[in-house]
Chain A
Amino acid sequence: MLRYLLGKLAVLVPTFFGITVVAFGFVRVLPGDPIMLMAGERGLTPERHAQLMAQYGFDRPLWQQYLSYLGDLLRGDLGTSLVTHRPVTEDFLTFFPATMELGLCAMALAICIGLPLGVLAAVKRGSWFEQISMSAALVGYSMPIFWWGLLMIILFSGTLGWTPVSGRISLMYYFPQVTGFMLIDSLISGQAGAFRSAVQHLILPSVVLATIPTAVIARQSRSAMLEVLSEDFVRTARAKGLGPALVVGRHALRNALIPVVTVIGLQVGSLMAGAILTETIFSWPGIGKWIVDSISKRDYPVVQGGLLVIAVVVMIVNLIVDLLYAVINPRIRHG
């Protein structure tokens, strides 16, 4: 197990440095120098320009700048936003819980719907249930979710008036942030209706963000299940006289889960991409919207920092998934 972990880390470390190079290079390849970008339309006198270049260290050789960038990173310093003048790290920590809450809900939805759907489709092979669920999965897989979100708003917020259009909670509630998760904080606050409001705000964005992962998980668990069901040990279990629920639930599912876990892990990256769109549509104050807004405001330190942090978060989650994978699949661990 330790050797497996070390092997994984040996690949991750160069990838991490690659990510820092990309994030570091991003601001440098933009047309114009960084100081001019910061100054924006206001313009600068040549003296002030030179002074700022020296102050930020942009006049030093590139490799020195990169090293000091790495040094700052190690101290958790991602630079300062040009718009809010707050440290990027601080802004990130403000917005991250919202994305985390949305992402976790979407993932939970996707697993709770996708997995049973795929397993049932495999068990009931050739039935109308398989036809319908797999067609639906293909439609979900092909869905432009930014459009899907808009349709949901038209239907549930516009026509039916069931859910609010944007934000995380109604403005009439105010309570201190304890966990940063609106669902939990609203419960802790004890205010009547606050939790309900938080749920109402969360439900549409979660459904929209869960659409593609649900479809992917359903498709993958169906094909994994089909493969396992045709194997000898399943036939043996059946021959022993075990009931279908036991064969599927105990013997087959456990083995079918292995590829499904990988796919679930792979969804974390696409979940981040989905969050960019979903948060933009629902004005959800998470890191996806934060990055998109920063790009349009040309707030480059934020884009740079966000790019790095998101890539690192995805990388860490993938590592955790890899380890989980090794835990449930001994062949990998010892291979």
Chain B
Amino acid sequence: MADPVTLATDAPDTGTARAALAGFWSDFRRNRGAVIGLAVIGLLVLVALFAPLLAPHDPTQQYRDALLLPPVWETGGRGAYLLGTDALGRDILSRLIFGARYSLLIGLMVVTIALTGGIAIGLVSGYFGGWIDTLIMRVMDVILAFPSLLLALVLVAILGPGLTNAMIAIALVLQPHFARLARASVMSEKTREYVVAARIAGASPLRLMVWTILPNCLAPLIVQGTLSFSTAILDAAALGFLGLGAQPPTPEWGTMLADAREFILRAWWVVTFPGLAILITVLAINLCGDGLRDALDPRLKRS
């Protein structure tokens, strides 16, 4: 027999969960852009997973006889280096393929950290209210008062340049958005009858927060998570571009652009392809995010 708490918590959902999922999928599928975005993301994941098999060369191998070779379709290009080589003779295509690993990893790590932290903070803030809430929200206001990239820059300057620190900094900067969303949802949910029922049934505050309230606040958080995924990739690339993110010779796309800056007027391909990779990835995620938002929560409008 299920205990009354579980009953009170799960009753509205269990029976309709599968139907809700099917409804969500049919909404999502109707959005052509979102499906394309999802397909591109799937492809990128495959590329990242099988990078060593797909890449024609080692991404850090320097071919001294092939410096700044143009792509194969330009005069002077060679079939061995489809998208050309950079100033150190490294194959750009191979670097891009391995770069997909970094970008997806960055997005995943940053969103995981920011989402977990933000949910925890938002739950506590919204559930307890009072001075705890005021204090937490004022701290979030302070973080949000700084332009995000600037704060991330300064945090990395404190922690020291590098990919891990860049991810921590970006996660910290993005986290208040999740905290605010989680708090707002909790505040609107916590006076609902099912929560009151669970409380009367004797559920502890922790159980109430995590098992009763949280599942009903997830929709906006998932949408925000998708959108933050693209912000994380963009910001990490920007930090790499400014020399504070991943360090050379890491084949991270932003770092590749930083290396390429001095050659922009001589070798367009070293600049064009890494940026295109960033744009396509971010665009695919944003397309998907738009579709998710429309399907999950039509009220949550993005600007």
Contacts and interface: CB of A to CB of B under 8 A. Distances in A.
Contacts of B290: 138
Nearest to A296: B243
B275 A144 contact: yes
B251 to A, nearest CB: 16
Interface residues of B, number: 46
Contacts of B254: 144, 146
A15 B145 contact: yes
A280 interface: yes
B287 interface: yes
B61 to A, nearest CB: 25
A15 B282 contact: no
Nearest to B151: A307
B282 A150 contact: no
Contacts of B242: 276-277, 280, 292
A261 to B, nearest CB: 12
Nearest to A263: B303
B5 interface: no
A234 to B, nearest CB: 19
Interface string B246-282: 0000000010010011001100100110111011001
Contacts, number: 132
A296 B75 CA distance: 39
A272 B148 CA distance: 9
Contacts of A270: 147-148
A124 B208 CA distance: 48
A147 B302 contact: no
A192 to B, nearest CB: 29
A310 B286 contact: no
B278 A158 contact: no
B154 A26 contact: yes
Interface in B220-252: 230, 234, 237-238, 241-244
B128 interface: no
B278 A139 contact: no
Contacts of B260: 150
12 contacts: A15-B145, A18-B142, A29-B158, A147-B275, A150-B271, A150-B275, A219-B303, A223-B303, A270-B148, A276-B147, A295-B157, A314-B147
Interface of B: 33, 138-139, 141-142, 145-151, 153-154, 157-158, 230, 234, 237-238, 241-244, 254, 257, 260-261, 264-265, 268, 271-272, 274-276, 278-279, 282-283, 286-287, 290, 301-303
Interface of A: 11, 14-15, 18-19, 21-22, 26, 29-30, 138-139, 141-144, 146-148, 150-151, 153-154, 157-158, 216, 219-220, 223, 263, 266, 269-270, 272-273, 276-277, 280, 291-292, 295-296, 303, 307, 310-311, 314-315
